[in-house]
Amino acid sequence: MSKGIPLAEALARYRADADIAPLPGSTDIDTLLNTYHPDHLRGSVVKLAVGANAGDSCQRELAGLLQAEAFIDEADLAGSPVTDIDVLVIGGGGAGCAAALAAAENGARVLLATKLRLGDSNTVMAEGGIQAAIEPDDSVQRHIQDTLRGGHHVGDPTLVSALAGDGPEVLHWLINQGMQFDQTPSGDLHTRRAGGMSTPRLVHCRDYTGLEMMRVLREAVIQHRSIEVWEQSPAVELLSNEVGQKCVGAVLTSLNNGQLRIVRTRSVILATGGLGRLHLNGFPTSNHLGATGDGLVLAYRIGARLCELDSFQYHPTGLVHPSHLAGKLVTEGVRAAGALLVNGLGQRFIDELQPRDVVCAAILRECSEGRGVRVNDQHSGVWLDTPRLERAQPGLLEKQFTSLMTRTRVAGIDPRVEPLLVHPTLHYQNGGAVIDANGATTVPGLYAVGEVSGGIHGRNRLMGNALLEIISFGRRAGAAATADRDRGPKKVTLEHVNQLRRALTLAGLPMTQRAPQILPDYAAGGVWNR
């Protein structure tokens, strides 16, 4: 990718006060997506050969993990300590905490196991806000319509109406937990409009919405008397009953010493988040270190049906440099506030508030057609024109985008003076485990909430719906999992693993790769058996 305008030349050409020509006429969205969006790259999608989604399309690298060998077999379970608990939540982000709190509120004893530290998640980095239809001219119905339209009408209307309908109550619950939001002078919750929204609906806490949410939920979980937390304890396998058809627990390991622990439970809630750290199609990612798609692998292996495995959200504005922030986001809120995208020639090329997939494809088009700004052979991008925004609304960046300013200040960059070089970055897994309105997967006893689940966002997620989803469905699943009143497992087995191994052998697939991945290769030095 050596095309593009060299960085120095582009910088010299850049003027914050230059006149910007209006956008060229209407873009053919479908052609743009089909030509430039990474989901449509040739060779990036394969058909799954085994499992509940056999015959379905799946991103190539993800397919390799879904059809991989497990880490353990029954011999490994002998002698491992066993813990019995009502509800096991796997994942310590927003969805996991919401699920654990809801289950505990409903009287369950809860174990929350998380791969890294409680709160290490994508939730904590969500800057934009949370959608909820609370403005007088807004309605739950409009929220539903926007969400379905944004997802290219692939989303499940039942799930979407559950999500949108929960919006106001979710805010109520969060405020009760002690989460703060920005207010207007009259005390209303302040709302913003962002990509794909027909009206302002994005409630926020400056640009630290995810951090504010996560630290409140984290504290609520730590303080809750009925919730036990195990950190540095990723799940390596789920446990099934004798016939391999019901989830009755999980096997956890320890990042510190590799010891396996068996948890037997009535229900398991997967809240493991996304998979950006698999760096699909070679893209950088905005995700936290633990986002390696473990939940998808575990759910698929025990027989859960997944959906939209070939659809991922590449956030349009990932930073290109400084290197330690490569792939990290500049929140869409900056564009919502009026920042333009400008190519290396100083031209606008897309309506900045189009859905993320469209904006992303447009940036990739600019780069591949030589109008991008080239840093070196591997890196190019386009300008996010923050200095122009600062000229139009002095002080706005410092006041409303504290997080962005803090992060760039560490690297000696001032977005008020220099435009930011951005490039699409792997941000979100649109699909995931198929669930019902209670977050139940197709496997009894197994729930999935948050990014690991699918069906809500169709093939594209709107900003602010992820934070809503994790609380809405986290609470739904927590309550439903507690309501499951069978007597708990009689026997815990790895029968589903045996079944998958037979299927893999039958399909002639190699069992050389093992999954889940747990940590990306470059960080795997600390992991138990690598």
Partner 1 sequence: MEPLIIQNPQVGTPQVLLHPERRVGADMSRWRSSGGGVALERAVKNPAAVLEEVRLAELRGLGGSGFPAWRKWEAVAAETPKPDKYLVVNGNEDEPGTFKDRLLLEETPHQVIEGAVVTALAIGVNRVVFYTNPDLTRSLAAMKAALEQWQASDLLAQASTALGRPLELELLPGSGHYIGGEETASMEWVEGRFPFPRGKPPYPAQAGVHGCPTLINNVETIANVPHIVAQGAEWFRALGKGSATGTKLYSLSGDVLHPGVFELPMGTPLRELIYIHGGGLLSGKPLKAVFTGGPSSTLLTPVDLDVAMDFDSLRARGANLGTGAMIVISEGTGIVKRVAEYERFFAHSSCGQCNSCKVGTANMSRLLDRIDTGCGTAADLATLKNLCTMLPGTGRCHLINGAVQLLDSAFHHFPDEFRQALH
Partner 2 sequence: MTTSNTTANGDDQAQSVALTINGLAVNAHEGMSLVEAAWHGGVPQVTSVGCLEGVCGSCRIMLRRGKEVTVGLACQTFVENGVEVVFLPPASAPLHHYEVSDFKDGWDIQARFQDIFPEASRCRHCHGCDNACPKGITVENGVALAAAGRFREAGEAFFECVMCELCDAACPELIAPAHVGLFSRRVTAHFHLRPPNLIHRLEELRKERMENPPKDRRKKNNED
- What 3-state DSSP class applies to 190? coil
Cis peptide bond upstream of 322, omega within 30: yes
Angle of helix 29-36 relative to helix 356-368, nearest 10 degrees? 60
Nearer to partner 1, 178 or 526 (CB): 526
Per DSSP bridges, beta strands 420-429 and 82-90 are unpaired
Neighbours of 525 (CB within 10 A): 8
61 binds, among partner 2, partner 1, none (CB under 5 to 8 A by kind): none
CA dihedral 133, 137, 141, 146 (to 10 degrees): -80
With tokens 């780069």, the residue in question is 367
Least CB distance to partner 1 at residue 409 (A): 22
For residues 404-423, which are near partner 2 according to CB under 8 A? 406-407, 410
Q: What span, in angstroms and rounded, lies between the C-alpha atoms of 210 and 215?
A: 8
Which of partner 2, partner 1, none lies near 397, with the C-beta cut-off 5 to 8 A by kind? none
Residue of 335, 365, 475, 476 marked active site: 335
CA distance 186 to 522: 50
Q: Which does 149 bind (CB under 5 to 8 A by kind): partner 2, partner 1, none?
A: none
Site string for partner 2, 32-71 (x = CB under 8 A): ----------------------------------------
Residue 198: contacted member of partner 1, partner 2, none (CB under 5 to 8 Å, by partner type): none
In the region spanning residues 73 to 132, those forming contacts with partner 2, defined by CB under 8 A, are 106, 116-117, 119-121, 124-125, 132
Nearest approach in angstroms of CB 76 to partner 1 is 18
Annotate each residue in 218-247 with x if it binds partner 2 (CB under 8 A) or - if it does not, as one string.
xxx-xxxx-----xx---------------
State the CB neighbour count (10 A cutoff) for residue 121. 34
The runs of H, that is alpha helices, within 484-516 are: 495-506
In the list partner 2, partner 1, none, the entry touching 371 (Cβ below 5 to 8 angstroms by class) is none
Question: Contact 387/416 with Cβ under 8 angstroms?
Answer: yes
The token pair that represents 519 in the structure block: 């940590």
| Among partner 2, partner 1, none, partner that 257 touches (CB below 5 to 8 angstroms by kind) | partner 1
Tell me whether residue 119 or residue 244 sits nearer to partner 2 (CB atom).
119
> Could you tell me the smallest distance in angstroms from the CB atom of residue 266 to partner 1?
28
**Minimal distance in Å, beta carbon 232 to partner 1?**
10
Q: Pick from 124, 481, 83, 475: which is nearest to 273 by CA? A: 124
- Tell me the three-class secondary structure of 31-56, residue by residue: HHHHHHCHHHCCCCEEECCCCCCCCC
Q: Which of 69, 76, 70, 88 is nearest to 489 (CA)?
A: 88
Helices (H) and strands (E) in the chain, counts: 16, 21
Which of 192, 206, 277, 315 is flagged as catalytic? 315
The answer to the question of residue 444 lying near partner 2 (CB under 8 A) is no
Binding part of the chain for partner 2, among 267-275, 343-351, 372-380, 382-390 by CB under 8 A, reads 372-380
Note if 335 is an active site residue: yes
In Å, how far are 51, 138, 340 from 250, measured between CA atoms?
A: 19, 43, 48
Q: Contact letters (x/-) for partner 2, 191-210, by CB under 8 A?
A: ---------------x-x-x
User: Which of 168, 338, 444, 488 contacts partner 2 by CB under 8 A?
Assistant: 168
Residue number, 116 or 494, with CB nearest to partner 2: 116
- Is position 315 annotated as part of the catalytic site? yes
**Residues designated as active site:** 315, 335
